[in-house]
Amino acid sequence: MVEQHGKTLVPQIRFAGFTDPWEQRKLGELYKEVSEKNDLTYGRDRIISVAHMYFNPVVYVTEDDYLKTYNVMRLGDIAFEGNRSKNFAHGRLVENTIGDGIVSHVFKVFRPIQPFDLMYWKYSINNEKAMKDVLTRSTKASTMMHELVAKDFLNEEIAVPSLEEQRRIGAFFDRLDSLITLHQRKYDKLCVLKKSMLDKMFPKGGSLYPEIRFAGFTDPWEQRKLSELVEIERGGSPRPIERYITDDPCGLNWVKIGDAPELGRYITQTTEKIKPEGLAKTRQVYPGDLVLSNSMSFGRPYIMAIRGCIHDGWLLIRDAQKHFDPIFLCHMLGAPQMLNQYRMFAAGSTVNNLNKELVGKAIVSLPSKDEQREIGIVLDRLDSLITLHQRKLELLRNIKKSMLDKMFV
């Protein structure tokens, strides 16, 4: 393993055929500071937002002459954005990969003076691991954000691979980002479609007919108060709860808000159990029961797949008379028509959380069991597709994070 000044010059992961150590180079050998003032060749539609690195078509300035104070930022130039964040404690460097434009004079701009690969430097220069020490030594804190000291920055050294290895690394991360963007778009479209279906597959405005329904279903939906159809009860907590928590595998599943999955609608396990003697002070739930967070943020409902006990942060909704298909009921409880009623009932009151009375007086519309099942199947399939793309997104983001850590020195 090659080292220089105590720093390893070979990344953990690299493409086949590359074995030479990376070269330690001063940033001043790679970039020069530039202050190319705008001669109004570039207008309002070519202003670059360094914080997000995109062309921003809306700029709130009153006179075009003000744009003369802006600096030209050309393709491949880098700029320092001094806002502190969780990942970038001293600010961050961003590369312009979108084309020539102008940037506010508050940002220092540096231009490459050596052959380079655009995509490689996009990921290298904005890599917290690679640039953390550089920015720690070459920035100083000010009132609003960190400032970059150009002289100190250009005097810093970083490890640089050959141009060919730069191209391979840049192409890899560019492809990875394209996959992330693809799945993000699919995920966003599915979420919009799901929201639209929830809005259109349930009647609204007092109507007995939804905007969209399956062929063969023409009967009006029945309208009833939810409390007339299901049992609604609030959970309870034995106190102090610490006395009832147990490691005994025979204990009762203690269902907390954190046990609800981020993906999916079924609660299948809990992280804690309580002693059986706590049962008298809580509410027991069974597979098939629905639980709904009583927070006024209106957390979505979940279906119990296990037996357990719920604390007073949950409401139990039990369809003892079997009026509903459980999947349909779960989606219906989280539909916009229901959420709007909750908000309307709570408006102007001192109620900070949902309660059984507030939820119970919501008017629900229900079709035949057959139509309920059809609606539940479609919405569940949409949920499965949304979950699939969300998991792919998480996987790709984790891969990118790991590769950013292991493919750079």
Instruction: For 351-392, write each residue's pLDDT tens digit.
Output: 567 788 888 999 999 999 999 999 999 999 999 999 999 999
The model's pTM is 0.79
Q: Give the CA count within 13 Å in the CB-facing half-sphere of 298.
A: 15
| Domain 23-160 bears CATH identifier 3.90.220.20 | yes
Per-residue pLDDT at 63: 58
| Domains in the chain: boundaries | 23-160, 163-217+367-409, 222-366
Per-residue pLDDT tens for 188-230? 999 999 999 988 999 988 899 999 999 999 999 999 999 999 9
Higher pLDDT among residues 258 and 397, named by residue: 397
- Cβ-in-10-Å burial (0-12, 13-18, 19+) of 185 comes to exposed
Per-residue pLDDT at 206: 83
CA distances, 206 to each of 125, 161, 221, 335 (Å): 57, 67, 11, 15
Higher pLDDT among residues 198 and 167, named by residue: 167
Nearest-angstrom CA–CA distance, 373 and 326 = 9
Per-residue pLDDT at 354: 79
Per-residue pLDDT tens for 293-352? 887 555 578 999 999 999 988 999 999 999 999 999 999 988 888 888 887 877 656 656
Task: Give, for 93, the enclosing helix (H) or strand (E).
Answer: strand 92-95
Indicate the class that CATH gives domain 222-366: alpha beta
| Closest alpha carbon to 383 in 263, 257, 266 | 263
Phi, psi of 227 (to 5 degrees): -65, -20
Per-residue pLDDT at 1: 43
Q: What's the Rg (C-alpha) of the chain?
A: 29
**Which option is the CATH number for 163-217+367-409: 1.10.287.1120, 1.10.10.10, 1.10.150.310, 3.40.50.1370?**
1.10.287.1120
User: Are the folds of 23-160 and 163-217+367-409 the same?
Assistant: no
